[in-house]
Amino acid sequence: MNYLAHLYLSFGKEEHSIGNLSADFIRGNKGIKDMPEGVQAGIRTHRQIDTFTDTHEVVKESKRRLYPLYSKYSSIVVDIYYDHLLANNWEKYSNESLEDFAARQYKILQKHKDKLPLQLQKRLPSMMAHNWLVGYRDISGIAVTFKYFAQRIKSNIDLTYAHQQLEADYDLYNDEFNRFFPKLIDFVRNEQK
């Protein structure tokens, strides 16, 4: 899962959102014990989400289809596809509009900016200015995300056109996402009890 899903799966808890979004920028457990408990809980949730997602059979179906093109990066591609699909199926999973959810999340991130890892703090102005969370709804929005990732990774794998595979098999990925995501929601809710 990518930014949108991790924020959604924080279920409105502010510090939890900070930790859930920050976890990809934190290696190991260094410095975590010095963070507020809510942020620590969000980091743990993020890692549980990633483990559940990476090992779920439905997600593995999506990744297997992409593996010949993207090798180990097929997980990243699926994460971004699934954020796009969450944005496009938003009304199934939330009573709040995607636009209102995104605006609320940006306010939370801005309010707790000092708790974000430095790399995420630097990324936040662009995230807000370009409204990444709502931008996931459009194929052009995830095309920009793939272009950004393609520039960051040091590999012969080119993610620049990864959005085209989603377009080619859209119904298939959409079906897989909607079979998987309710199970992920239940998993996270049960873990948080």
Number of domains composing the chain: 1
What's the pLDDT at 189?
95
Task: Determine the Cα–Cα distance for residues 162 and 165; give it in Å rounded to an integer.
Answer: 6
Question: pTM higher than 0.85, yes or no?
Answer: yes
User: Which of 174, 175, 149, 140 shows the shortest CA–CA distance to 70?
Assistant: 149
In this predicted structure, which of 62-66, 114-118, 152-156, 181-185 has the lowest mean pLDDT?
152-156
68-79 mean pLDDT: 92
Q: For 29-68, how does the pLDDT look when each residue is reduced to its tens digit (9 = 90+)?
A: 776 888 889 999 999 999 999 999 999 999 999 999 999 9
pLDDT score, position 46:
93
Q: Please indicate whether residue 92 or residue 156 has the higher confidence score (pLDDT).
A: 92
The conformation of residue 193, written as its DSSP 8-state character, comes to -
Q: How far apart are CA 118 and CA 17, in angstroms?
A: 16
pLDDT at 1: 53
Pick 1 or 91 by higher pLDDT.
91
State the residue range of the domain holding 163: 3-192
